[in-house]
Amino acid sequence: MWLGSCRDSLLGCCPVGPMTEFALPRTPPFRALLWFSRATAALGRSVGAERDRWVLWLPVAIGAGVASYFALPVEPPLWAGASILVLVAAVGLRARGAAVVCAVAFSAGALGFSAAQVRTALVTAPVLAREIGPVAVTGRAVEVELRPADRRITLDHLTIATVAAADTPARVRVTVRARGGDTVVPGDQIQLRAVLTPPPRPAAPGGFDFSRQAWFERLGGVGYAVNAPVLTAPHAARWQDGLSALRHSLSLRIRAAIPGQAGALAAALMTGDRGGIADSEWQAMRDSGLAHLVSISGLHFGLVAAILFFVVRAVLAAIEPVALSFPVKKWAATAALAGSFGYLLLAGFNAPTERSFLMLALVLLGVLLDRRALSMHAVAWAAAAILLFAPDLLLGPSFQMSFAAVIALIAFYETFGDRLAAWRRQFGVVGRAALYVGGVGLTTLVASVATTPFALFHFDRVTTFGIAANLIAVPLTGVWIMPLAVAAFALMPFGLEQLALVPMGWGTAWVLDVARVVAAWPGAAISLPAMPVAGLALIGTGGLWLCLWQQRWRWAGAAAVVLGLATLGTVRAPDVLISDDGGYLAVRAADGGLRASSTRANFTVDEWLTADGLTRAKPWPKAGAVSDDGMLRCDGVGCTYRAQGRIVALARSREALVQDCRHADVVVATVSVFVPCAAPVVVDRLDLWRDGAFAVWLGGETPRAVSVDDRRGRRPWVLPRGDWE
């Protein structure tokens, strides 16, 4: 009896009575055990109380499996994920109680791992091993991006001179001067001469990996044309090419009706073609917090569906025989669903559009079936579908930011929606208008808080005045721009689209004006150092814990978010950076800035500055001069950098190597080092050629050098070492 009473008390199943208190010891270990058992019991009760929310964690488990696959340093055998899935499922069939829940979670993770493996295998295609050209390239245009200064054309069904058929990429992307590419439309078979290179590696260890993204796009080379493309065959008749050609044609018609950047923004909102937006306008949209308006997502799909739904329903309701005899609400929902699907086809398939359409489809299907759609569950199923069919999207900012925003908004309105609805019923017309404006601001605040960590991780920038910009731009988009966009689509078959496009252009011009004004405010955008992956993982996990649960224990997720943000203080930027071709060098200045060998605008140095949270590089001293902080001295054959008690020799000729190898702690040579070198760390041209860009840290017991491929590991999208020229 005593043992039973003790056991039940530990499990929290019965109160601790006087007899038990007398019998049980009061030692600190026992008290800790008692506290742990009560905490475990309380946790179990909380989990059990939210049984209906368990299913929301299935896509999280799938995403964890996908993330674990991409985090591996080597490619696992293809059977690994499937074997784990079968093993966990077999164990789960024999499990009971909580073990079943664990088995389902691990099975979902194994399913995500397997989906990523299968996806990687399915998109396998040759990648160029080195730069070639100019060479003759023949292929079919599958995408034509209308950019302000040029045209970027993606080609498939390729024939490349000097490249064997077995080594020919599935796709290449070529930049063509604007006039040369104006006549090309998707589906055209063209020929041109181009310089092609493999997809570039990251500019620094841990940087954005374009070659991985290109792998999943089956893009085996990028480059530029040296002549205008020549049409070699008429337009193809595939439906995919027809759809791309339609998107291209509509973009041209929109820009013809709305000149300038207002037309480029209108085309982006209607067809998803964002290539015409100038870099300066993009920067203003980002710095003002309005970039989300350019990416077609839930806001745009919701507006299109709402406009179609209410217009069709109002028209049908006005016809009395139809309104009395037929389910006009369901007909309106069907029209909205069909129109939204057409919008999806025009906008293209990516994470925001797919997620938005899937959620909208579930809501409209709920109307058709006379059932109320559960928004958070709709998000969960949309996320699961995307992760299983395109798991690589998990790594991109589009997927992360779009889902973070919508999950946070749904969780917020699940918590406070009834209270806000009660307030709305108490107000008149003026009060409701004020409440709408306040709602826009509140929605923007919630979405901004949710997406800021992901923007910081991917772009190293945060905006401070997004609420002010969105208070003007979002209502303008909802009540003016998108209704006119829908009207323009309806008028296009009759050639009357200008009736809607011209006033729509006024609206897009106003949005751009708002972006420019807000972006010009002091402190509109703040650059910060790159966040570590561990920090993003903590913030993502904590944010999901806050949003997916509904009991008070959800607030424990705030601790994980705080820890994730705290990781920003653990990042130690490298002291020396070297580009993969040795053409660019950068060293840490005394004030923490970067001193770069070239201060001209170039992709590599810009990436280094962005990762450091900087906007401008300090100048490099000329030969025979010393930097203003005295840390960097240069002569005709190289430079010497002194920091943290270390000497770094930056050699540009073999003549300097003999002395540098004797005295320096680190030797960085843009030539090959074929002489014995006593320096603890040596990075030469061969290392750069084989392993990519390097970063060097001088602190600690010994200097440490890390390459791009050290971080990327041995994966299919990483070219084998030694394959580069």
Q: At what angle do helices 429-459 and 397-426 cross, to 10 degrees?
A: 160
Distance CA 556, CA 294 (A): 35
Distance CA 178, CA 645 (A): 52
Contacts of 114 (CB under 8 A, 6+ apart): 65, 81, 82, 84, 85
pLDDT digit string, tens, across residues 2-18: 334 343 433 334 444 44
Percentage of the chain modeled with pLDDT above 70:
93
The pLDDT of residue 282 is above 60: yes
Mean pLDDT of 407-432: 82
Q: What is the predicted pLDDT for the residue at 184?
A: 87
Straight-line distance from the first to the last Cα atom of the chain, in angstroms, rounded to the nearest whole number:
80
Query: How many Cβ atoms sit within 10 Å of the Cβ of residue 314?
Result: 11
**Residue 600: which pLDDT band, with cuts at 50, 70 and 90?**
confident
Q: What is the predicted pLDDT for the residue at 2?
A: 38
Only one residue has tokens 């490298």, namely: 574
Mean pLDDT of 127-136: 92
Could you tell me the pTM of the whole model?
0.86
Q: What is the predicted pLDDT for the residue at 9?
A: 38
Return the sign of the alpha-carbon dihedral for residues 406, 534, 699, 703.
negative
Q: What is the predicted pLDDT for the residue at 125?
A: 95
Domain limits, the chain = 1-42, 50-122, 132-237, 251-527, 533-570, 576-712
Q: How far is CA 95 from CA 87, 139, 143, 254, in A?
A: 13, 56, 51, 60
**Average pLDDT across the chain, whole number:** 86
pLDDT digit string, tens, across residues 76-111: 998 988 898 888 888 877 777 777 888 889 999 999
The pLDDT of residue 571 is above 50: yes
pLDDT digit string, tens, across residues 363-390: 888 888 877 655 788 889 889 999 999 9
pLDDT digit string, tens, across residues 445-458: 888 899 999 988 99
The arrangement of secondary structure in 132-237, i.e. its CATH architecture, is: Beta Barrel (2.40)
Distance CA 272, CA 254 (A): 12
